[in-house]
Amino acid sequence: MKRIVIASRNRGKIAEIREILSLGDVELLDLDSAGFHERIEENGRTFMENAVIKARAVFTRVGLPVVADDSGIAVEALGGRPGVKSARFAGPGATDEENNALLLELLKGVPESARGASFICSAVLCFGRGEWLRAEGRVDGFVAGAPAGENGFGYDPLFILPSFGKTMAELPPAVKNAVSHRAKAFGELGRLMRLEEPPVFPRFRR
Ligand code: IMP
């Protein structure tokens, strides 16, 4: 069985990547199952730089093909913030609730027409030294005035998708995983992986 490591500890994200990639006979390992227990310093300036940093760190240690993503929310009224700092917007180790509370506080009094935001995801597959596949996905929406919905993670309760008139957290996971930034990035990455067959896949065997 071919094995690929998902370079993340975010359970919500891992579940989504598993569902979106649906690679059939490939076993997708999380970091602990792959024996990788270190913390990775995400000091890139862009989502793509951070995705590459994560995948490279894990590939170098584990020696198996690795998929990684870096993602976040870019809010127009905040000049694109929090962007690559989305996970630690309210400080190191911040909870989703603290990040969401800070975002609402900063947008207090900002009308709906000026609350535009995007979820962005950069995804990579590293399958050998210097051998990479890359893809990006983005979805546009706006920031709600108050959280709504229980599904998903992170900023999902605040992110309204105009085509549904609902927050990401109000959508069933299967719907989020068909339309999200991560769905677009990993959908494309999966397509590239299948296209690359056989050059990529034989390397997955260990
Ligand atoms: P990462 O693990 O460094 O990519 O951090 C991503 C952070 O961006 C998460 O902790 C969330 O705060 C936010 N984020 C990324 N993708 C999503 C999503 O699909 N829904 C909600 N928040 C997200």
Q: Whose CA is nearest to atom 13 of ligand 1?
A: 72
Condensed to tens digits (0 to 9), the pLDDT of residues 87-112 reads 999 999 999 999 999 999 999 999 98
Q: Phi/psi at 188 (nearest 5 deg)?
A: -70, -40
Condensed to tens digits (0 to 9), the pLDDT of residues 117-175 reads 999 999 999 988 888 999 999 999 999 999 999 999 999 999 999 999 999 999 999 99
Q: Whose CA is nearest to atom 23 of ligand 1?
A: 154
Condensed to tens digits (0 to 9), the pLDDT of residues 43-86 reads 999 999 999 999 999 999 999 999 999 999 999 999 999 999 99
Pocket of ligand 1 contains residue 119 by CB under 6 Å = yes
What is the pTM assigned to this prediction?
A: 0.91
Give dist(CA 153, CA 86) in Å, integer.
Answer: 12
Q: pLDDT tier at 196 (50, 70, 90 boundaries)? A: low
Give dist(CA 116, CA 135) in Å, integer.
Answer: 23
Q: Whose CA is nearest to atom 14 of ligand 1?
A: 72
77 Cβ contact list (under 8 Å, min separation 6): 107, 110, 114, 115, 116
Amino acid identity of 146?
Answer: A
Active site residues: 70
Give dist(CA 135, CA 69) in Å, integer.
Answer: 9
**In the prediction, which pLDDT does 1 show?**
73
> Cα of 65 to ligand 1 centre, how many Å?
23
Residue range 2-31: mean pLDDT, rounded: 90
Pairing of β 116-128 and β 131-143: antiparallel
Pocket of ligand 1 contains residue 48 by CB under 6 Å = no
Atom of ligand 1 nearest to the CA of 69: 4
**In the prediction, which pLDDT does 22 show?**
79
Contact 38, 61 (CB under 8 A): yes
Q: Phi/psi at 180 (nearest 5 deg)?
A: -75, 170
Atom of ligand 1 nearest to the CA of 182: 19
**In the prediction, which pLDDT does 45 show?**
95
Number of CB atoms found within 10 A of residue 46's CB: 13
Contact 92, 125 (CB under 8 A): no
Q: pLDDT tier at 195 (50, 70, 90 boundaries)? A: confident
pLDDT > 60? residue 204: no
Q: pLDDT tier at 202 (50, 70, 90 boundaries)? A: very low
Q: Whose CA is nearest to atom 5 of ligand 1?
A: 87
Pocket of ligand 1 contains residue 89 by CB under 6 Å = no
Atom of ligand 1 nearest to the CA of 82: 8
Pocket of ligand 1 contains residue 167 by CB under 6 Å = no
**In the prediction, which pLDDT does 24 show?**
77
Q: pLDDT tier at 197 (50, 70, 90 boundaries)? A: low
pLDDT > 90? residue 116: yes
Name the 3-class secondary structure at 10. coil
